[in-house]
Amino acid sequence: MADIPAGFFYMGGNGEGSNYDEAPIHKVTLTKPFKMSVTEITNAQYEAYDPAHKAYRGKSGISVHDNEAVVYVSYNDAMSYCKWLSEKEGKTYRLPTEAEWEYACRAGSYLTFSMDDGLPGIFHKNQQIVRDMKPVSLAVGETPANKFGLYDMHGNVEEWCLDWYGPYVADDQTDPVGVKHGLYRVTRGGSHNTPEKYLRSSNRMAMIPEDKHAQTGFRIVQADYPESEPLAVSAQVEQPVKVPQTKYNWKKGVTRKPFFLPPVPYVIEPACNSGIPFYRHNHQPAITWCPNGDLLAIWFSANEENGREMVVLGSRLRKGGETWEKASLFFKVPDRNMTGSSLFNDGQGRLLHLNGVEASGDWQNLAMIQRESTDNGATWSAPHLIAPEHTKRHQVIAGTIQTREGWYIQPCDAGPGSHDGAAIHISKDKGKTWSDPWDGQPAQFEPNGTGSTIAGIHTGIVQLMNGNLLALARGNSLPDANGVLRMPMSISKDMGKSWTYYASEFPPIDGGQRLVLLRLSEGPLLLISFTDHPIRTKKENRGMLFADASGMSYRGYGMYAALSFDEGKTWPVKKLLTDGTYRFLNGGAWTGYFEMDSTHAEPRGYLAAVQSPDKTIHLVSSRLHYRFNLAWLMEPAK
C-alpha cells in the first residue's frame, strides 16, 4: 500500500466532443490521507478469496499468471473481495472513490497523462480498437510508478471505482462520493487493447455493475468509507418525462382507403446547448408504437461505427403530430460501443428495449441488455444483462417478434462481418430469461444445405402458420436454378436449432442496406428491401420490373415492398415505395441525398418497421419515416 497524502486538485477536463462528461473542471479537496494498493489486485491475491476464479485464467488469451492483474470481476465481486479482506485483516478496505482515483493518478500533474502529454511506448499494450484482443502480459508493477509510487494507473486494466456514474458539478467539493443513485459504476484508467486516449488521467468510463470482461479489474484503498453526502443530481437524462399516459384507441384510426404519406425525417438534431451528444453518423434504427398513441424511434449516433462515443438516441412522434421531436438521449453505457437496438411492444402495455453493449470499441464482442417500460417509454428500468458474455451472436437487430406459443424471438448478427450469418435468442417467459438454440456447429451456406446459423446478416424473421420460422437476410447470397445470385432464405422447423437454405426470388442487397420482414395483421407477409445496390451492383443488373395500373411493366430502382399470401412460397405483389411525386431527400447515414420520383425510391438505408393497431405500416430508414397501408400496397402504381 502506498501512502497518499491529503490535499486538493482540479478534477476533470475541458469536456470537448465525446468527452463532454469530463466537464466542468472543479476543485476537489480530500481532507484525509489514505493508502492505495501500489498495483492492481492480481490473480493470486483475488483467488485467495475466490479459488473458483482460476477458471477465467487465460480466457481470450488474457491474464494467465499469478502476478497479472485479475480480470473478469464485476463491481460486486470487487466489493466482496474488499469485505473479505477487511474481515480477514481487521482493517477497512474498499474501492477508491472516483475523485480519490484521479487524484492518485495525477499525483500532482495536470498533463494529459501523469508523466507526459502522450503515453510513452513502454506503457503500451496494443493501444488500438480491436475485434480479437491481442494477448498481452498484464503483469503488474513492470512499468515506472508515478510520483505517489503507484503502478499501472494508465492502462493494463480498467479499475472499478466506488461511485455511481453521474454528471460533474462546478461547485468546489470536499471528499466527494459521486451521485446518490445511478445505473452504472465508474471505471477508470483504461486498459490493454484500447486506444490511448481512453487511458488519460481525466477520462471517465463506467459499466453495468454485474458486467465483467477481460479489460476490467480493480485496485483497493485502505481507509474508512467517506461520510460525505452524495450529490442529489440526476445520474443520466433520457427520454422526455412529460409523456401523456391516457390510453389511445388506436383502432378508431383504421381506414380501408389507400394512403402513402410523404416521408418525413425522424432524426432531428438536438439544440447545441442541450448537452445531448449528437454525432455525424446516425444509423441502425428501431421503432414501435406506444399505448398512448405515440410512436417511438431509436437509433445510434456516432462518429465511427466502431467508436466508444456511440450513444443510442430517441425521438417521439406525438399522437396526431406530423413532426418528430428533437433527439434525446435514450441509452448509453459510458465509453462503450452500443451497436444494435430493438424495440418491442408486447401488446399488454409493456415496451421492451434490447441493446448490445461492447466491453470497449467495435461491435464483435457484445453483451446483451434488456430494459422495460410500462409508461409509454417515459421511464425505463435499469438495464440488466440477458446475455452477459461479451462475444459474437449478440449484435441485436430491430425486429423482435412474438410466436403463436407466446415466445419472444430476438434476431442478432452472428458476427461482425458481412457474411457471418445471423442468430436468434428465444425467451419463453415474456423476456425474463433468454437462450440461444445454437448447438455450436458451423453453418454451411449452400442451396438446400443445412446449418445452425441463418444465412446472411441483418435478418428479418417471421413465424409461418405451420410453426416454422422463415428468415431473409443480406449477404451469403445463393445461386438460383439459372446460376443468378439471390437473397438467401432460411427455414427452421425446430425453432432455430437448424436452418435449411434456399435461393429466394429477390435480388441480394449489400452495404448500407437492411431489409424488413414482418407479418401484417391482415395476414400477408411483407418484405421491404432494395432492387439493387447503387454502387456495388453492376449496371446491367440494376433495377427490377414492376407493373403499373395499365399492366405495363417498367423498371424501377430503390426501395420496394413485396407481399406473400401463401407463407412465402410466392410474392405476387411487388411495388416501388414511392407515390410518384418528385422529391429531393436526405436519407442520412450511408444513403445521403437522393431523388424520388415515379421510377426511383430511396436507394439504400437501414430499415425497421412496425404495424400499429390502426393498421398503418410505419417504416423508418436511416433518417426518414414512411407511412402507408396494405390497401396502398395492393393498388397498382399510377
- Round the average pLDDT of the chain to a whole number and report it: 96
Residue type, 503: A
Per-residue pLDDT, averaged over 110-133, amounts to 95
In this predicted model, what pLDDT tens digit does every residue of 2-23 receive, in sequence order? 999 999 999 999 999 999 999 9
Dist. CA 515–CA 399, nearest whole Å: 10
Local structure of 296: helix, strand or coil: strand
In this predicted model, what pLDDT tens digit does every residue of 383-409 receive, in sequence order? 999 999 999 999 999 999 999 999 999
Residue type, 296: L
Residue type, 216: T
In this predicted model, what pLDDT tens digit does every residue of 448-481 receive, in sequence order? 888 999 999 999 999 999 999 999 999 999 999 9
* Confidence label for 638 from pLDDT (cuts 50, 70 and 90): confident
Q: Can you name the residues that pair with 77 across neighbouring β-strands?
A: none
Local structure of 619: helix, strand or coil: strand
Per-residue pLDDT, averaged over 409-414, amounts to 98
Residue 232: per-residue pLDDT: 86
Q: Are strands 553-556 and 544-547 parallel, antiparallel or unpaired?
A: antiparallel
Residue 439: per-residue pLDDT: 84
Dist. CA 507–CA 81, nearest whole Å: 57
Residue 75: per-residue pLDDT: 98
Is the pLDDT at 95 greater than 90, yes or no?
Answer: yes
Residue 235: per-residue pLDDT: 62
Report which of 224, 219, 1 is spatially closest to residue 91, judged by C-alpha positions.
224
State the DSSP code for 57. T
Over 76-107, what HEC string results? HHHHHHHHHHHHHHCCCEECCCHHHHHHHHHC
Residue 241: per-residue pLDDT: 64
Residue 426: per-residue pLDDT: 98
User: Is the peptide bond prior to 24 cis by the omega test (within 30 degrees of 0)?
Assistant: yes
Residue 479: per-residue pLDDT: 96
Residues in the chain: 638
In this predicted model, what pLDDT tens digit does every residue of 186-232 receive, in sequence order? 999 999 999 999 999 999 999 999 999 999 999 999 999 999 999 98
Is the pLDDT at 237 greater than 60, yes or no?
Answer: no
Dist. CA 272–CA 267, nearest whole Å: 15
Dist. CA 294–CA 300, nearest whole Å: 20
The sheet with strand 281-289 has its strands ordered as: 281-289, 295-302, 311-317, 328-331
Cβ atoms of 236 and 594 closer than 8 Å: no
- Block residue for cell numbers 383504421: 254
State the DSSP code for 25. P
Q: How far apart are the first and last CA of the chain?
A: 79
* Confidence label for 589 from pLDDT (cuts 50, 70 and 90): very high
Dist. CA 422–CA 191, nearest whole Å: 30
Dist. CA 511–CA 392, nearest whole Å: 20
Per-residue pLDDT, averaged over 108-129, amounts to 96
Is the pLDDT at 446 greater than 90, yes or no?
Answer: no
Residue 440: per-residue pLDDT: 85
Interior angle at CA 630, CA 628 and CA 635, nearest 5:
95
Dist. CA 549–CA 579, nearest whole Å: 13
Cβ atoms of 214 and 71 closer than 8 Å: yes
State the DSSP code for 435. B
In this predicted model, what pLDDT tens digit does every residue of 274-330 receive, in sequence order? 889 999 999 999 999 999 999 999 999 999 999 999 999 999 999 999 999 999 999
5: exposed, middle or buried (Cβ count in 10 Å: 0-12, 13-18, 19+): exposed
Residue 539: per-residue pLDDT: 93
Element containing residue 329 per DSSP (H, E): strand 328-331
CA dist list (Å): 349 to 246, 345, 384, 410: 12, 7, 20, 19
Q: List the domains of the chain with CATH numbers.
A: 2-222 (3.90.1580.10), 268-389 (2.120.10.10), 399-416+424-504 (no CATH), 506-637 (no CATH)
Residue 428: per-residue pLDDT: 98
Residue 445: per-residue pLDDT: 86
Q: How many CB atoms lie within 10 A of CB 521?
A: 13
In this predicted model, what pLDDT tens digit does every residue of 19-64 receive, in sequence order? 999 999 999 999 999 999 999 999 999 999 999 999 999 999 999 9
Q: Is the dihedral of CA 153, 158, 159, 162 positive or negative?
A: positive
Report which of 329, 355, 327 is spatially closest to residue 341, judged by C-alpha positions.
355
Residue 236: per-residue pLDDT: 59
Dist. CA 124–CA 114, nearest whole Å: 15
Is the pLDDT at 591 greater than 60, yes or no?
Answer: yes
Residue 443: per-residue pLDDT: 81
* Confidence label for 156 from pLDDT (cuts 50, 70 and 90): very high
Residue 239: per-residue pLDDT: 52
Phi-psi region of 340 (alpha: psi -120 to 50; beta: other; left: phi over 0): left
In this predicted model, what pLDDT tens digit does every residue of 548-568 receive, in sequence order? 988 899 999 999 999 999 999
CA dist list (Å): 210 to 184, 299, 426: 9, 25, 22
Is the pLDDT at 240 greater than 70, yes or no?
Answer: no
Residue 233: per-residue pLDDT: 76
Q: Where are the beta strands (DSSP E) in 403-522?
A: 408-413, 422-427, 450-451, 457-463, 469-474, 478-479, 485-486, 488-492, 499-503, 513-514, 516-519
200 contact partners, CB below 8 Å, separation of at least 6: 13, 112, 113, 154, 190
Task: Return phi, psi of residue 164, to 5°.
Answer: -70, 145
CA dist list (Å): 233 to 179, 237, 313, 550, 595: 6, 10, 21, 65, 47
Cβ atoms of 611 and 517 closer than 8 Å: no
Could you tell me the three cell numbers for 141?
Answer: 508493477
Q: What is the DSSP string of 512-549?
A: TEE-EEEE-TTS-EEEEEESS-TTTS-GGG--EEEEBT
Per-residue pLDDT, averaged over 524-544, amounts to 97
